Amino acid sequence: MGWNSFIWFAIPAFICWCLGAFFAWKGKKAQVYGFTLLGIAVFFYFILGMWISLERPPLRTMGETRLWYSFFMPVAGIIVYSRWRYKWILSFSTMMALVFICVNLFKPEIHSKTLMPALQSPWFAPHVIVYIFSYALLGAAAVMALFILIRKEKITSKEMNLTDNLVYVGTTFLTFGMLFGALWAKEAWGHYWAWDPKETWAAVTWMAYMLYIHYRKADSKDMQTAAWIILAAFICLQMCWWGINYLPSAKGISIHSYN
Amino acid sequence: MENKHMWNKPWKSAEGFIIGGGLIAVGILLQLAIGPIKWSIFSWPINIIILLVLLSTIGIMYCLRAKVYVFEWMMHIQAAIPSIAYALGLTIIMGLTVQTERGGIPWLSQMLTFWPFVLIYTWMALIAGSVTLKRIMHFRVREIPFILNHLGLFMAMVCATLGNADMQKLQMTAKTDKPEWRALDKKGDTVDLDFTIALHNFTIDEYPPQLLLADHMEERVLEEGEHAGWKIKVKKKIDDAALIHDEDGIRYEQWNSSGATTAMLIMAVKDDKTRVGWVSCGSYAFPAKTLPLDERYSVIMPERAPKRYASEISVHTEDGKNVSGVVEVNKPMKINGWKIYQYSYDKKMGRWSTTSIFELVKDPWLPAVYCGIFLMLAGALCLMLFMAPKPIKED
C-alpha cells in the first residue's frame, strides 16, 4: 500500500468523521462513537498498510508525521468528547485532520523506503508517536486559547478547565517524547542531550508549557495572558516541529535533519 | 507593574522579574570581568564540591526561610514563573543564533558559557531544589507528583551540567585483526585505555539498488517512479560484480572479492527507441556507470544506502575480562564503565571497509542523570493521571 491509494482511505475516513461530528451536534452518542471510531479504524488500516509495505514505521518524512497527526486529531477529539461532551470538539478535530490530509494529497513529500541506521531503533516509534500525539492535544489547546481571546462573553471555569487539562495531558506526552528522545540519543549518539537545534527548541517548547502550567497554578485570574502564553508556546512547538528546517541557525547543523 | 506595591510583602512575580534582570546584569559584568565560563575546570572533585555547596545552600535556605523573606518567597510559585520566563527567553535566543565554539555573535553564539544564561538556570535550579525540599519536609501523599517532577528536573539538570566535565569521549580507529588500545580525545591527543578491542569483522548491509533517471537539461535527478516516458526492464542483476573490458566493449561478471560493485543490465524503451546497457553504482575499485538514453536523460544507479553496519569485536580488559559481541548503530557495548559505539568506517572503501571507527564514552554521572529522567517520567505520568480538575462551577 502506498501514497497512491491514500485518497481511497482518506475520503471514507473523513466522511465517517464528518458524520460523527454531525451526530455530536444532534446529541446522538451511539452514532458519534460508531462513525468516529470507524473512521479512525479505516485511517489506521492505511497507516498499517504503509507500515508493512515500507517495511518500517511510517514516521520518517514530514508527510508521514502528518499522517499520524491526521490520525491522532480524531483520537484526541473522541477522548475529549467522551470526557467533557463538547459538541464542537469533533467538528474541530475533523477540520484539523482534513487540513493535514489535504497537505498530504496536494503537496506530498519525497517518500523513500530507506531508513538510515541511526533511526533503526525500538525508540523510534514511541519517540515520534508520543510527540505527534502531544502536538495534536496542544493544537486543540491552542484553538481553545484563540476561542478565549476572541470571545466577548466571560470565560467559564469549565472552559478554562478543559484548556488546562488539554495542556496537562499534552505536556505529559511532550515530556515523554523529549525524555524518550534523550534515552534514545544516549544509545545512538553517545549523549542524551547535546543542545542540537532541535533539542534546544524542544526545551523551549517544554519550558513554554511549563510557564503556562505554573502561571495557572499560581491561581492567576487573567485568562487573556494565559491564552497568549498557550499561543506563544504553540508557535515554539511549530518551530521545533518544522520551523527549524527554515532557520539559518539550524541549517546543516541539526543531526535531526532526516528529510 | 504597580510600583507602589513593589517589595512589599507578599512578593509577587514582579519582584522575581526584577531579580532575574539583576542576575542578567551581574552575569554580563562577570562576562566582562572574567570572560566565559570554562566548564572544563568543573571536573572531579570540583563538581562534587559544588554539588554539596548547592545542596547545603538549599538546606540553609530552608532553615532560614522564616527569618529571611527572600528564601520563603523562593519556595513560592510566584518566584518560579519569572525564572522559567527568563530561562525560556535566553533559550529562545540560543535557538535563534548559530551556536559555535568560537566566532559568531559575541556572547550569544556561545550561550552555554554565557554567564547570564548559567546564572538564570542556576537560579531556576535553586528554586526547584528548595521547593522540593520544602515539600519533602512537609510530606503528604498528594505531593508525590510534585516532588517527582521537581526533584527529577533538579537531579537531571544539575547532574548533567556538573557531570559534563567528567565525561570522556574518545574515538578509536580499529583495523581488522589488529588489537587496538589507543584512542584520540577531542584535542587529538592519544589516550591509552585499560582494555583492547580486536575487530574481527566489519559488515555493511545495504538497501537494494535503485535505478533513477537523471535529467541533464534541468540538472536534477527524477523522483522514484518518474520515468519521463521510458519503460525500464532489468534483464540481469549482479550484486557482486567486476567491470570487464574486452574487444566487445564493457560488461560485468560475477566477482566475489573486495571492491565488487552492483551492476544491472537494463533495457529502456520509449516509442520506437530502445537502449540496452549496463548501469552500476561503482565502488572504490570500479567507477560508476550510467546509461545515456537520449540527449536529455540517462539511467543512473545512486550509491546504495547503508541499512546496517556492524563490527564483530572482542574486548580484553587489564583486569582479565573477555567479552565478545557485535557493536552496531543504536546497539553500543558496555565494558568497565565505558560504552563502545559504532561511529563510522572507511567511507572510501564503502562496504569493503576493513576499518571500523568507534566512539568510546564514559560518563560517571550518567546514573544520577538517568535517575532524574525516570523521576520526571513518573512525574509526567502523575500529572496526567492525577490532574485534579477544579470543581466545575459556572461563574
pLDDT tens sequence across B334-367: 999 999 999 999 989 989 999 999 999 999 999 9
Q: Do A207 and B124 form a contact (C-beta atoms < 8 A)?
A: no
Instruction: Please report where in the chains the cell 523551549 appears, as a residue.
Output: A204
Q: How far apart are CA B139 and CA B129, in angstroms?
A: 15
Res. A179 pLDDT band, cuts 50 70 90 = very high
Q: How far apart are CA A147 and CA A100, in angstroms?
A: 21
Which residue of A lies nearest to B84 if distances are taken between CA atoms? A211
DSSP state letter for B109: G
For residues A8-19, give the mean pLDDT: 96
| Residues 6 or more apart in contact with residue B288 via CB below 8 angstroms | B280, B281, B282, B300, B301, B303
Q: What is the pLDDT of residue A108?
A: 62
pLDDT tens sequence across A64-122: 888 888 998 899 889 878 877 878 888 888 988 898 898 888 766 545 556 788 887 87
Domain boundaries, chain B: 3-167+367-385, 168-204+307-362, 208-297
DSSP state letter for B238: E
Q: What is the pLDDT of residue A115?
A: 74
Q: What is the pLDDT of residue B263?
A: 95
For residues B49-61, give the mean pLDDT: 97
Among B81, B308, B394, whose Cβ lies nearest the Cβ of A211?
A: B81
Q: Can you name the CATH fold of B168-204+307-362?
A: Tick-borne Encephalitis virus Glycoprotein; domain 1 (2.60.98)
Q: How far apart are CA A234 and CA A149, in angstroms?
A: 15
Q: What is the pLDDT of residue B394?
A: 39
Q: What is the pLDDT of residue B377?
A: 95
Res. A246 pLDDT band, cuts 50 70 90 = confident
Among A115, A158, A207, whose Cβ lies nearest the Cβ of B392?
A: A158
How much of chain A, in percent, has pLDDT values that exceed 70?
Answer: 94
Among B359, B361, B380, whose Cβ lies nearest the Cβ of A175?
A: B380
Q: How far apart are CA A78 and CA A17, in angstroms?
A: 10
Tell whether the model's pLDDT for residue B260 goes beyond 80: yes
Res. A259 pLDDT band, cuts 50 70 90 = very low
- Residue of B333, B376, B387, B393 to mutate, testing the A interface (most A Cβ within 10 Å of its Cβ): B387
Q: What is the mean pLDDT of chain B?
A: 92
Tell whether the model's pLDDT for residue B304 goes beyond 50: yes
- Residue of B15, B105, B373 to mutate, testing the A interface (most A Cβ within 10 Å of its Cβ): B373
Whether chain A has a CB inside 8 Å of the CB on B371: the answer is no
Task: Specify the DSSP element, H or E, that contains B301.
Answer: none
Give A 103-122 residues with CB within 8 A of chain B.
110, 112-118, 120-121
How close does chain B come to A15, measured CA to CA in Å?
Answer: 30
pLDDT tens sequence across B185-213: 988 999 999 999 999 999 999 988 999 99
Tell whether the model's pLDDT for residue B181 goes beyond 70: yes
Whether chain B has a CB inside 8 Å of the CB on A221: the answer is no
Q: What is the mean pLDDT of chain A?
A: 87
| Interface predicted TM-score of the whole assembly (ipTM), two decimals | 0.89
Whether chain A has a CB inside 8 Å of the CB on B105: the answer is no
Give B 153-172 residues with CB within 8 A of chain A.
160, 167, 169
Q: How far apart are CA B193 and CA A245, in angstroms?
A: 40
For residues A150-164, give the mean pLDDT: 83
